[in-house]
Amino acid sequence: MTASAGTRTRPAVAAIRPRARRRESGLLIIVALVLLLGSVSLGATQRELAGQKVTWLPADAGQLVVYLTALFGAHLALVLAGRRSDQVLLPTIGLLAGISLLLMERLPQSLVTQSLAGRTFGLASIQLGWLLLALAVITIVALAVRSDAWLRRYKYTWAAAGISLLLLTFLFGNEVNGALLTIQIGPLSGQPTELIKVILVIFLAGYLSEFRPLLVEASMRLGPLQLPPLPYLLPMLAMWAMALGIVVIQRDLGAALLFFAVFLALVYIATARASYVVVGLILFAAGSVVAYQLFGTVRDRVDIWINPFADASGKGYQVVQSLYAFARGGIIGTGLGAGLPLVGGRLPIPAIHTDFPFAALGEELGLIGVVAILGLYLIVIERGLRVAASAADDFRSLLAAGLTLVVGVQAFIIAAGNLKLIPLTGVTLPFISYGGSSLLANGVVIGLLLALSDRGVEPPPPAPAGRRRFAFLRGSRQEAG
Amino acid sequence: MDPYVVAIWIVRIAFLGGLYLFMFGVARLLLRDLRAAARDPGGALARLVVVWSDVSEPPRGTVFGLDAVATIGRDVNNSIVVEDDFASAEHAALAFRGRAWYVEDLGSTNGTFVNGLRTDGLSAITYGDELQVGRVRFRFERSRR
């Protein structure tokens, strides 16, 4: 029975006062040193392989300096704004993205080229540009979002926006490797699913936080399972139908898997009821069996997963090469820049910069390096869930947990796919894969997590009078209690 | 052995070691946070924040940490004392049972309000809900940790 009165809340709007973020500074210095070492290692290896004199200069000092300047710039912006947000997220993301830059510098630059104003840019330059934009997005979102009212109030608007983006992809999407993935607007093309995943989490957080009391309390018995009444099961069915629609129309297995997994995890976090997860898994199993029977793409992926060596030079080629890459890497790897010899002038894994960066890192950094990369994702997840656990109300908590899981589950799906732990589905490895939409969408995720973790963020608004519709439930608790 | 090769391998292994140095740094921060949290005895399950008050006690901005059971009322034996003539001596109780929080009106004269609606008996509440007892409005919040 402690009722410790006393501590006053701070005024919502305080004067902006710079505040040191020592932990972040310390970690960022480690990040800078590690990236410098990586760059020196890459530069020396590349010069040795090219038969030049080995010098201890970084591989591409200019790009590294630009990137690190931007990273410390983001840090400085947070310091000057006096934010008391999480201090581990930015350095961790900075390290992952820095490893991405090293990897892109190391791959053949002709993999992706873009001509702009008479100059042609290669893979690493374009990726550097996207990384800088992503850092800018992180900083702007982290600084600008002081209240989450605009996220929680318009949840159905967000849902509508997400669904229309999805429909746009269905209608106007371009096919990449047999999947409708990208939308082209003028010279720019993007992957809408990357943005949809963020919108989905915002909608689910709003929906689940509003209906949580009903989902937890009400129940309908069906055999051994306690289910919520039918009206509250409908969103689950709708979500399942949407995931299946993505599989059927878009042939984008990765996005469908990601959306459904994050949805189930959020429902479980909101209700703490295993029955929902059981129902969801049954639906997932049923959908998978049907999809396997009906669609060649799905069957191919599963067959490759079960035995990639059955067609090692055809369908199973990339997965087999990925396994070889991990095997060549061994425990400490071949060293940055020393792996992946070209096969007949071509890369053994064509999609190495988008779908298989984990295999490339597995070869060059070995088991030790890959475990470290997974550890970095675990740090992101730990920090995100910590933000969720200390959030002031359900919406914010679910939002933070969902945003974290979207990044974590996506990293798991593609890393496990590269390792042939689950069937390969084409999603990007967050912050490491090449690609603008992925980097920007994940930048929004990290920016929002930073904003939500700030202790000066505006307190949640009072519950709307719209909760009146639950009055009947509240009244009826008398008998139940 | 070629000294260049040895040197390159030293740099490569230093890079891998650096990755782990970073993780070690993060783990140390985590440990420090956990120790600080263990020292802090304020292990409240949830909290009530006074968002509006027309009486002297409790004033606006007060934060109450809540245990599994807390009572609100005018009587000094309540865990949260509301000095208001419109509040009953034993006005309402808050309890965490199983998976959810409940508020129970203890037969008060002027009622307990959840999000502006009068509640009779027991009703489930969630974080972010507003409770009103007498001329004091509380917001029910998750505890800070």
Question: What is the interface pTM, i.e. ipTM, of the complex?
Answer: 0.85
pLDDT digit string (tens) for A277-321?
Answer: 888 899 889 988 988 998 888 888 899 999 989 888 888 888 898
- Reading the block at residue A410, the tokens are 């996506």
pLDDT bin (cut points 50, 70, 90) of residue A469 is very low
CB B110 within 8 A of CB B87: yes
- From chain B, the residues in CB contact with A91 under 8 A are 22
Which of B4, B6, B12, B72 to mutate to probe the A interface, most A CBs <10 Å?
Answer: B12
pLDDT at residue A471 in the model: 44
pTM: 0.83
At A236, the pLDDT band (50, 70, 90 cuts) reads low
Q: How confident is the model at residue A8 (pLDDT cuts 50, 70, 90)?
A: very low
The predicted-structure confidence for B6-44, as pLDDT tens digits, reads as follows 888 999 999 999 999 999 999 999 999 888 877 765 567
Instruction: Look at residue B50 and give its three-state secondary structure.
Output: strand
Which pLDDT belongs to residue B25? 95
Q: Mean pLDDT, to the nearest integer, of A18-38?
A: 93
- Which among A7, A42, A269, A432 is the top mutation candidate for probing chain B, defined by the most B β-carbons within 10 Å of its own β-carbon? A7
Which pLDDT score, from 0 to 100, does residue A109 have?
A: 84
CA A95 to chain centre: 15
Going by C-alpha positions, the residue among A460, A434, A479, A473 that lies closest to residue A130 is A434
The pLDDT > 90 percentage for chain B reads 26
Determine the Cα–Cα distance for residues A220 and A224; give it in Å rounded to an integer: 11
Query: Mind listing the pLDDT tens digit for each residue in B80-124?
Result: 999 888 999 999 999 888 777 889 998 888 889 988 888 887 888
Cα angle, residue A277 at apex, residues A268 and A155 outer, rounded to 5°: 50
How far is residue B21's CA from residue A42's CA, in Å, rounded to a whole number? 20
What backbone phi and psi angles, to 5 degrees, belong to A53? -70, 135
Residues 37-66 of chain B whose Cβ lies under 8 A from any Cβ of chain A: 42, 44, 49, 51, 58, 61-66
pLDDT band at residue A5 using 50, 70 and 90 as cut-offs: very low
Confidence of residue A186 (pLDDT cuts 50, 70, 90): low
